[in-house]
Amino acid sequence: MSDQTAYRFDTRCLHAGQAPDPITGSRAVPIHATSSYVFKSTDHAANLFALKEFGNIYSRLMNPTCDVLEQRMAALDGGVGALAVSSGQAAITISILTICHSGQNFISATSLYGGTWTLFTQTFAKLGVEVRFFDPAQPESLRKLVDENTRCVYLETLGNPKNDVPDFATVARIAHDLGLPVVCDNTVMTPYLFRPFEHGIDIAVYSCTKFIGGHGLHIGGCIVDSGKFDWTLAAGKWPEFTAPDPSYHGMVFAEALKPFGNIAFIIKCRTHLLRDMGSCMSPFAAFLFLLGLETLHVRMPRHCENALAVAQHLEKHPAVEWVNYPGLPNHPFHANAKKYLPLGCGAILGFGIKGAPWPSFSRIL
């Protein structure tokens, strides 16, 4: 598939990123189980390391099977590039730490997957990276948290498991006013139900472990870069991209990569933290996620249909006190859900049984 955008979503789920192997004609994406690659010449090797051309160096950094998954995820979200990693947690960690270091801070919505909450409040704190929380229902409240060391705004498409749906356009407008990129965890929606870059988000992160894979077979994650955030606009604000990088033989990423488009962020994720911390995806995992993606456009409508039917059933059940599903008209975020999730609200729902203690984290009504 050469021009990925020329094809509709369902076709991209099946074919984006893959050119059938010219030697074997293999229709399925081959699992490239190899740690290393043969260079055509020393010049070829030098060009690859210098990022003057793209190709395979070593499977901690890139792999042809993972590359198909990366291209397919980028094509589904409408991004300029993607990076497959070993888990959703790795995707979140790499995307934040690529732009945020010790002594700096970022602003996050309060409504988060528990593992992300712990990562932000405990592990990042140990690294000297501070998280400051805002209520996603009150986007204006994030303004007062920002200072000269603030690096990005982070949120989830649908807070897991609180099921709140932020007003993305407003959050993005405020963040961009403040010169900050927006990072969004789109795990529970997937690109089928919500395409973050169409609503002002700059970077999407995924746990592929859930609906992307779809069969509970492997842990994996992915970062997708919209290529829309201009890291060169505010002079000196993003030295990661605009100043010589001592960890990559003095390369100025934004300048060196300019001929390929605005891909400095996603390449930096790969050549810095993925290289140094090693949380790469195995080609076997990538193969399983590609298989999952082939049916994404078939599974997601069914997930939404089933979840809505269960929510409607529970709502009428005499033993049920409350149901938390944004597809229900009485849900506090139903208006935002209708605006941003017209194809359905996904498959996460919460409910409480009358008279029983319920987990407070899932109650919103």
Given a contact cutoff of 8 angstroms between Cβ atoms, the answer to whether 155 and 136 are in contact is yes
List binders of ligand PLP among 203-242 (CB under 6 A).
207, 209, 219, 221
Total count of residues recorded for the chain = 365
- Burial (CB < 10 A; 0-12, 13-18, 19+), residue 365, is middle
Piece in contact with ligand PLP (CB under 6 A), picked from 70-78, 84-92, 164-172, 321-329: 84-92
Least separation in angstroms between CB 84 and ligand PLP? 12
Given a contact cutoff of 8 angstroms between Cβ atoms, the answer to whether 185 and 120 are in contact is no
Least separation in angstroms between CB 91 and ligand PLP? 8
48 vs 303, which CB is nearer to ligand PLP?
303
Structure-token match 């990042």, residue found: 124
Residue nearest to ligand PLP (CB): 88
Check binding of 59 to ligand PLP (CB under 6 A). Answer: no
Least separation in angstroms between CB 163 and ligand PLP? 12
Q: Which residues contact 22 (CB under 8 A, 6 or more apart)?
A: none
Cα–Cα distance between 261 and 319 in angstroms, integer? 56
Find the binder of ligand PLP among 88, 139, 166, 200 (CB under 6 A).
88
Least separation in angstroms between CB 112 and ligand PLP? 8
88 vs 196, which CB is nearer to ligand PLP?
88
Cα–Cα distance between 99 and 96 in angstroms, integer? 6
87 vs 108, which CB is nearer to ligand PLP?
87
Least separation in angstroms between CB 341 and ligand PLP? 15
Check binding of 157 to ligand PLP (CB under 6 A). Answer: no
Find the binder of ligand PLP among 18, 59, 63, 87 (CB under 6 A).
87
The amino acid that residue 357 corresponds to is P
Sheet containing 81-85, strands listed edge to edge, beginning at the edge strand earlier in sequence? 81-85, 221-225, 203-207, 182-185, 150-156, 105-109, 130-134
231 vs 326, which CB is nearer to ligand PLP?
326
Q: Which residues contact 40 (CB under 8 A, 6 or more apart)?
A: none
Find the binder of ligand PLP among 142, 188, 311, 364 (CB under 6 A).
188
Structure-token match 């990129």, residue found: 181
Check binding of 89 to ligand PLP (CB under 6 A). Answer: yes
**53-59: which pairs have CB atoms within 8 A and are 24 or more residues apart?**
54/260, 59/34, 59/35, 59/280, 59/283
Least separation in angstroms between CB 90 and ligand PLP? 7
Piece in contact with ligand PLP (CB under 6 A), picked from 28-36, 86-94, 312-320, 328-336: 86-94
70 vs 185, which CB is nearer to ligand PLP?
185
Structure-token match 């890291």, residue found: 231
Structure-token match 């962020």, residue found: 265
Least separation in angstroms between CB 121 and ligand PLP? 15
Binding site for ligand PLP (CB under 6 A): 87-89, 113, 115-116, 156, 160, 185, 187-188, 207, 209, 219, 221
